Homo-oligomer: A and B are copies of this chain.
């Protein structure tokens, strides 16, 4: 049976280059490991798995009378003459160094988890066919908390999950340890992810009962030696639901005592428990505002108890009020900036990359740089809720890089989000996982690249999306250099293609209602105005777009003046943000030489053309790949093309009802009517909570 890609990027394909192969044989023939703990056991196991794959041999440890090929040990255990050769000073217990000493490759670190990271790094280099000789690497994470957020429910479903059921089988835990849990931990550790929130932010208090905490403990025990901490989402009303209290008021002594007891109970089972993520007073979730307390009151109540235990609180900023009719873009900023300085030091305010909701492209969230006294945590989405779900090839590293490189000007030019995070005493990046029980974990094989990239970029926000793609491709496919080059190009262009055919020129929130599948820019029937696509595009017979300048909602005022200056003028703003901030006349001539209407049509068409090109490129490699792998991607690309055309046709037909302008010639004619597209219903689209 052909490759089903369960192994992710840990394939350890046989090395064909004889020189590299011989060099591996030499180095793996005598490995000395100077430490001894559960993490070291994992290092040894991983070396065995890798060696079996790369060179079809067992590794040998501590071979007598033989030169050491690979020396693995924490810095304090290294012989002095070797330790002295370390080129750099560790600032993090997670950092590692790899260097050559005579004929020996040395991996060192301050902790065994650092050694594990170093080992994975070495194996990755081998897998990507880089020569071992002269290997040299000194790497430390720029971000402390690199955390997956699973929106997994206790009944096994996954909110916004498109790759099968939850991998966490709460029913059979704690007694059944699925091999998946181990392989999940291996995959995460191999890319530097060091934390996982096991449960949905739309939380269920049951996870905090004794029975379930024993299940969490079992997972924590599996993950611990991989350097991965577990976290849970905390339902703010748990003291009522589980504790039978009358209130969950964070200033109530009984409530505080209930949480203190609960947190003690957790730490009794899981001494290195990571802490809580909390979605409070947001989309119907309970929170401190139910008791006229602030988000700071709520977060600090938990943080105070967690502080001596080294636990943290990740308090989500994704709030928008039921009462206010304010531009949703502005609400988190309004709610949170006034609380700056009020949070305990082990609280991070967790902020999505943009102010709306994980759109294919958003300008960066105005909270970044706006709360200098509060550590912010960046929340990215790996699952493709708004980027075609699991039938779309959209490589997200360029999007993450765009966010991390965004200059807030908070401390002058160059105050990128990445740097701001790094400079915080406490920092972290969360990624909403795209992982499910599908054999290949992510539904779309290329979804694996987004999990991979998230790990790499949260370790090092300067990492190059191209280099990440190149490495991932080599680890994932046994193919030719031409394949790697061509498919790397596809990947790097893929997110932009999705933007073009679904959310061009700064348009946003045009997707199907509820399930968020496909286009529904005409939807205007939802009870909250700001849940409707029509609220966001504001098309009329003259103009289209959301005026967020001074003459509109003035969300733009939440940014620093330098940023405002970039975006405030519809003539000079980067076209990618044009309709995000401006309500623009259909006939306005843009610097592309086209009118707005024609440019919009051009973007839709161009996105479709891009997908067509992706298909052509993929099909060039039919004979290089095993059939199931080729077919998998080929079928999905064809679905993506269908969906791109659906976006293009339905959106241009719909917007034409406002613009009343003729379609430019380059736009392919729709073979369906707008009414047809409007009639489509998807009652069982996946991932809808």
On A, residues with C-beta under 8 Å from B are: 1-2, 4, 6-7, 49, 154-157, 164-165, 170-172, 175-177, 179-180, 183, 206, 390-391, 437-439, 628, 631-632, 635-636, 638-639, 642, 682-686
Contact = CB atoms under 8 A, between A and B. Distances in A.
Given A6-B439, A156-B684, A165-B437, 9 more contacts: A1-B183, A154-B683, A157-B157, A170-B684, A171-B682, A171-B684, A171-B685, A175-B639, A206-B683
B628 A179 contact: yes
B391 A639 contact: no
28 contacts: A1-B7, A1-B49, A1-B183, A2-B179, A6-B439, A155-B684, A156-B165, A156-B686, A157-B157, A164-B164, A165-B165, A165-B437, A170-B684, A171-B682, A171-B684, A172-B391, A172-B639, A175-B635, A175-B638, A175-B639, A175-B642, A176-B636, A177-B631, A177-B635, A179-B628, A179-B631, A206-B683, A439-B439
Given A155-B684, A171-B686, A176 B639 contact: yes
Contacts of A6: 1, 4, 439
A390 B639 CA distance: 35
A6 B628 CA distance: 15
Contacts of A183: 1
A390 B437 CA distance: 16
A515 to B, nearest CB: 10
Copies of this chain per assembly: 2
Contacts of A156: 165, 684, 686
Q: Which of the listed residues A6, A177, A638, A684 has the most CB atoms from chain B within 10 Å of its own CB?
A: A684
A540 to B, nearest CB: 33
Nearest to A440: B179
A175 B636 CA distance: 8
A1 B8 CA distance: 12
Contacts of A180: 439
Contacts of A172: 390-391, 639
Nearest to A643: B175
8 A-B pairs with least C-beta separation:
A165-B165, A154-B684, A175-B639, A179-B628, A155-B684, A176-B635, A164-B165, A171-B686
Given A164-B165, A437-B165, A437-B438, A179 B4 contact: yes
Contacts of A628: 179
A276 B115 CA distance: 60
A639 B390 CA distance: 35
A635 B636 CA distance: 38
B179 A684 contact: no
Nearest to A165: B165
A172 B686 CA distance: 10
A53 B149 CA distance: 41
A635 B176 CA distance: 6
A189 to B, nearest CB: 16
Contacts of A631: 177, 179
Contact of A206 (B175, B437, B439, B684): B684
A157 B158 CA distance: 12
A451 B157 CA distance: 26
A176 B1 contact: no
Nearest to A182: B628
A645 B114 CA distance: 44
A1 B180 CA distance: 11
A669 to B, nearest CB: 22
Contacts of A439: 6, 180, 439
A632 B179 CA distance: 8
A72 B390 CA distance: 42
Nearest to A686: B171
A59 B7 CA distance: 29
A390 B169 CA distance: 12
A7 B6 CA distance: 14
A179 B628 CA distance: 7
Contacts of A1: 6-7, 49, 183
A392 to B, nearest CB: 12
Contacts of A390: 172
Contacts of A154: 683-684
Contacts of A171: 682, 684-686
Contacts of A175: 635, 638-639, 642
Nearest to A515: B171
Contacts of A176: 391, 635-636, 639
A683 B205 CA distance: 12
Contacts of A632: 179
Max chain B C-beta neighbours (<10 A), residue from A2, A4, A206: A4
A13 to B, nearest CB: 13
A455 to B, nearest CB: 20
A202 to B, nearest CB: 15
A230 to B, nearest CB: 19
A684 B215 CA distance: 13
A324 to B, nearest CB: 34
Contacts of A437: 164-165, 437-438
Contacts of A177: 631, 635
A628 B179 CA distance: 7
Contacts of A684: 154-156, 170-171, 206
A82 to B, nearest CB: 34
A447 to B, nearest CB: 13
A631 B642 CA distance: 45
Nearest to A180: B439
A471 to B, nearest CB: 21
A49 to B, nearest CB: 7
Among A7, A155, A171, A183, the most chain B Cβ lie within 10 Å of the Cβ of A171
Nearest to A186: B1
A684 B155 CA distance: 5
Contacts of A4: 6, 179
Nearest to A627: B179
Contacts of A636: 176
A299 to B, nearest CB: 28
